[in-house]
Amino acid sequence: MIDNFTLISVALGAGLLAMPAVADSQLTFSVDRHFNEKSGEDLYHAICQDCHMSQAQGAQGAGTYPALTENPKLAAAAYPIFMVANGLGGMPSFKAYLDDDQIATVVNYVRGNFGNHYPDVVSALDVKEISHR
Amino acid sequence: MRDATGMSRRNLLGWIGKTAGLAAMYQAMDSLAFAAESNYDASFSLSGAPKGAKVLVLGAGLAGMTAAFELRKAGYEVKVLEYNNKAGGRCWTLRGGDNYIELGGAIQNCNFDKDLYLNPGPWRIPYHHHAVLSYCKRFGVKLEPFVQVNYNALLHSSKAFGGKPQSIRAVQADYQGHIAELLGKCVNQHALDQAISLEDREKLLESLRAWGALDRGDTYTKSLESSLRRGFSVDAGGGLMPIAEHSEVMDRKALIDSGLWKYLIDGQSYEFQPSIFQPVGGMDMIAQAFAQQVGDVILYNARVTRIQQDKNGVKVTWTNTKGSVDSQTETADWCVCTLPLSILSQIPTDVSAPMKAAIRSVPYAASVKVGLQFKRRFWEEDEHIYGGISYTDLPIAKISYPSTGYSNIGKGVLLGAYAWGPNAYEFTAMSPEERVRKSVEYGSQIHKQYAQEFDNGIAVSWHRVPWTNGCYGLWSEETRALHYNTLCQIDGRIVLAGEHASYIPAWQEGAILSALDAIKRLHSHIVSSQSNI
């Protein structure tokens, strides 16, 4: 019998150790219960990588964190905007902790990285239509 | 939810939002969401299950095991599927020798000494969590006091008093004393003449002197009265030892500006008031006690992949995480599903559309706990802090000292970080080693012994926990109004239970009460649908 989960986990763990996307030392802490990170890369690696992982590869345990790599669900920008602003399923809403600019920035980052090449760029105004604030 | 003044929770939150800003409102929401009390019925017992009726329980946390225990007593044939290789779910304790693999693959080996532990999830049981306490009593789980409030623990702000921590004792005494003095001035300067009668003004002044430890001039200042609350700069001794000296009180403006007063209410809130308990030896003593009752019907290492039902029964597909990848199935007449909604929302499940929407409506909170082992119990030896919690504005938020093993020689483990909100996400983004390193780094600002005495640590970020994908179900007032009742309905042959199906989210009491309520309704539904045939 093979311990599939452990094997996969160990392989992933080893991979991450060998190839960190952002070194731990670059990660910082925010003050005043609002994320202070500004760039898409910093926001991704402070928040999104908690679940979607550092290379956006996702993870699987009892449930799944979907990979964001080459993810066709990102084609319509409204979808990731909605997910970040409002949350759905187990995913939390980040409206309380991110302003519309930050949501636009991180959505653009994910849609332009990890094998995603969506050319359209969203703005805070696009986010506002969904965040309703 | 309404308080005694008739102000609704919504109005209250709106008011907080307007006056103190959004961040304060969300903080208040976090607290208010927890404020419901238990409705445990100590005489709970089901009986008269139809002959041969089988119930499949998904998840062997406290909700699942409560359901299994009570349903079996009622005469049902019960089986439980559990993802982990042990029972308990979030009722979990990490000890030396344990290893823990989080999502993403990072492996941590717990190197704590014998008898030392971290409860990564629930860690305390309020006296009014009657259901948890009742099962503990019934199953022989030994309890001991959890020290929630320690007057000699510390309050720390990196922006106040030059970053020097203050004792809770001094902050409590000085805050109360200064407020009493100010209010006394209002009375004496006739500011309250319109509001209260002359006789009542005298009574109020009398109470303020007592409550605030004011001196004879109605001022809060360095005095015997204030030192009897905040402590002495030189304590009383025996024989020819130095005589006691009164301590200086903090400056009123500096204290109010510091914001340290906001931590005082934590231990005064209903859910944390003493008496509050912990199981001797770790929270999972409760899980182990339940498993002794129902362990024989739990199938471990079972990852549920599909939940089907029709008019004849339920069929659950699962794979063995330690064995063949081939799917297996388990059938039953009924199903009690206690999987966290963060997991269940991803499993194809035959339920109604409104139930599906309800299952997908609850996000799961971020939370991080870090356990740190030190070479000696310096908080007791050097600082006379025995149990309790220190609070800080640093990302670690809290340091909690063990409420057990006082004055033991040797190593000790404390809770070195307990983060929520943005900082919890940021901790989670780090490797476990970095979470531990940061906890030691920040904690050093409160206890200078950290650097010298640190031994090893372990960090649990709840969004990385493979069997929950988050800490607890984060309902809002809006999602509750839209989905909560649906979520708690019996959907065909399936009913959900767990802390997410309760008004006591994140607490074990919520999990158990939810299970009791679900199986009570399920049982009467089963019995009544039988008699209708």
Flag whether pLDDT at B244 surpasses 80.
yes
* Selection from B459, B485, B220, B254 nearest residue B352 by Cα: B485
Measured between beta carbons, which residues in chain B are less than 8 angstroms from residue A50?
A: 366, 425, 428-429, 461, 463-464
What's the burial of A19, exposed, middle or buried (CB within 10 Å: 0-12/13-18/19+)? exposed
DSSP assignment of B189-212 equals TTTTTTTS-HHHHHHHHHHHHHHH
Give the orientation angle of helix B9-20 with respect to helix B22-32, to 10 degrees: 150
- Choice between B398 and B5, residue whose per-residue pLDDT is larger: B398
Q: Would you tell me the crossing angle of helices B198-212 and B168-188 to the nearest 10 degrees?
A: 160
Q: For the residues B186-209, what does the mean pLDDT come to?
A: 95
Would you say how long chain A is, in residues?
133
pLDDT at B478: 94
Cβ separation of A59 and B425 shorter than 8 Å?
A: no
Q: What is the largest CA-CA distance in chain B?
A: 90
Q: How far is B2 from chain A (nearest CA, A)?
A: 24
Q: Could you tell me what percent of chain B has a pLDDT over 90?
A: 90
Q: Residue B268, Cβ neighbours under 10 Å: how many?
A: 10
Mean pLDDT of B220-232: 98
Instruction: Compute the nearest-CA separation of A47 from chain B (Å).
Output: 6
Angle among Cα B486, A87, B517 to the nearest 5 degrees reads 25
Cβ neighbours of B444 (radius 10 Å): 14
Sign of the Cα pseudo-torsion (B85, B87, B89, B95, in order): negative
Contact of B50 with chain A, judged by CB distance below 8 Å, is answered with no
Beta-strand pair B334-337/B494-496: parallel
* Domain containing residue A18: CATH number: 1.10.760.10
| pLDDT-derived band at B16, boundaries 50, 70, 90 | low
Residue with tokens 């939940």: B307
Alpha-carbon distance B519 to B499, whole Å?
Answer: 15
Count each helix (H run) and each strand (E run) in chain B, helices first: 18, 24
Total of domains in chain A: 1
Smallest CA–CA separation between B380 and chain A, in Å?
30
Q: Measure the CA angle with vertex B27, ends B25 and B32; round to 5°.
A: 90
A88 neighbourhood in chain B, CB within 8 Å: 360-361, 363
Say yes or no: B285 contacts chain A, CB-CB below 8 A.
no
Question: Which residues numbered 45-104 in A keep a CB inside 8 Å of some CB on B?
Answer: 45-47, 49-51, 53-54, 59-65, 87-93, 96-97
Q: What is the pLDDT of residues A70-115, one digit of tens each?
A: 999 999 999 999 999 999 998 999 999 999 999 999 999 999 999 9
- Whether B37 shows a pLDDT value over 60: the answer reads no
Closest-approach residue (CA) in chain A for B339: A62
Mean pLDDT of the B440-469 span = 98
- Across A83-113, b (16+ Cβ under 10 Å) vs e yields bbbbbebbbbbbbebbbbebbbbbbbbbbeb
For B:297-336, CB contacts with A below 8 A are: 303-304, 321-325
ipTM here: 0.87
The answer to whether the Cβ–Cβ distance between A62 and B343 falls below 8 Å is: yes
Q: What is the rounded CA–CA span in Å between residue B347 and residue B317?
A: 10
Strands, E, within B377-517: which ranges? 388-392, 398-401, 412-420, 454-461, 494-496
> Does pLDDT of B351 surpass 60?
yes
Rounded Cα distance between B116 and B95, Å, is 6
What pLDDT is stored for residue B32 in this prediction? 46
pLDDT, averaged across chain B: 93
Say whether residue B165 is in contact with chain A using an 8 A CB cutoff: no
pLDDT value for A32: 85
B445 pLDDT tier (thresholds 50, 70, 90)? very high
Asked if B139 and B295 count as a contact pair (C-beta separation under 8 A), the reply is: no
Candidates A4, A29, A52, partner chain B, best to mutate (most B CBs within 10 A): A29
Cβ atoms of residues B106 and A14 within 8 Å: no
Q: Are strands B245-246 and B232-234 parallel, antiparallel or unpaired?
A: antiparallel
Q: How far apart are CA B501 and CA B504, in angstroms?
A: 9
Cβ within 8 Å of B, A 9-28: 9-16, 24-25, 27-28
The mean pLDDT of B207-230, rounded to a whole number, is: 97
pLDDT band at residue A2 using 50, 70 and 90 as cut-offs: very low
Q: Which pair of tokens denotes residue B238? A: 């025996």
pTM (predicted TM-score): 0.90
Give the gap in angstroms from C-alpha A22 to the nearest C-alpha of chain B: 10
pLDDT, position B323: 81
Which residues of A are less than 8 Å from B324 in CB distance?
1
| Confidence tier at B39 by pLDDT (50, 70, 90) | confident
User: Looking at the partner chain, which of B83, B364, B422 has a beta carbon nearest the beta carbon of A35?
Assistant: B422
Q: How confident is the model at residue B1 (pLDDT cuts 50, 70, 90)?
A: very low
Question: Tens digit of pLDDT for each residue in B203-212?
Answer: 999 999 999 9
The residue among B104, B179, B219 whose CA lies nearest residue B463 is: B104
R_g over Cα of chain B: 26
Judged by CB atoms closer than 8 Å, whether chains meet at B426 and A9 is answered as no
Give the range among A14-18, B43-47, B144-148 with minimum mean pLDDT: A14-18
Q: Give the gap in angstroms from C-alpha A24 to the nearest C-alpha of chain B.
A: 6
CA distances to A103, B184, B185, B214, B252 from B179, in Å: 43, 8, 10, 10, 9
Closest alpha carbon to B473 in B337, B348, B336, B340: B340
Range of the structural domain that residue A40 is part of = 4-131
* Residue found by looking up tokens 């996969």 in the block: A8
The 10s digit of each residue's pLDDT in B72-103 is 999 999 999 999 999 999 999 999 999 999 99
Using only C-alpha atoms, chain A has a radius of gyration, in whole angstroms, of: 16
Rounded to an integer, the average pLDDT of B449-462 is 98
B443 chain-A contacts, CB cut-off 8 A? none
Q: Which of B105, B322, B465 sits opposite A9 (nearest CB)?
A: B105
- Residue A51 to residue B463, Cβ atoms within 8 A: yes
Do B301 and B84 form a contact (C-beta atoms < 8 A)?
A: yes
Calculate ∠ Cα B490-B496-B499, nearest 5°. 140
The answer to whether the CB atoms of A62 and B304 lie below 8 A apart is: yes
A30 with B426: Cβ contact below 8 A = yes
Confidence of residue A130 (pLDDT cuts 50, 70, 90): very high
How far, in Å, CA of B187 to CA of B299, rounded? 69
Q: Say if the Cβ atoms of A61 and B342 lie within 8 Å.
A: no
Question: Does B343 touch chain A if contact means CB atoms closer than 8 Å?
Answer: yes
Residue with the bigger pLDDT between B323 and B45: it is B45
Give yes or no for A39 touching B (CB within 8 A).
no
CA distances from B310 to B81, B351, B496, B532 (A): 20, 10, 17, 19
pLDDT on residue A19: 43
Identity of the amino acid at B488: C
Comparing B461 with A32, which gets the higher pLDDT?
A: B461
How far apart are alpha carbons B355 and B488 in whole angstroms?
Answer: 9
The residues in B 399-428 lying below 8 A from A, measured between CB atoms, are 421-423, 425-426, 428
Report residue B279: phi and psi, to 5°. Answer: -70, 140
Output the pLDDT for position A27.
Answer: 84
* Nearest residue of chain A to residue B103 (CA atoms): A59
φ/ψ of B3, rounded to 5, equals: -95, 180
* Residue B334 to residue B522: CA distance in whole angstroms: 9
Percent above pLDDT 70 for chain B: 92
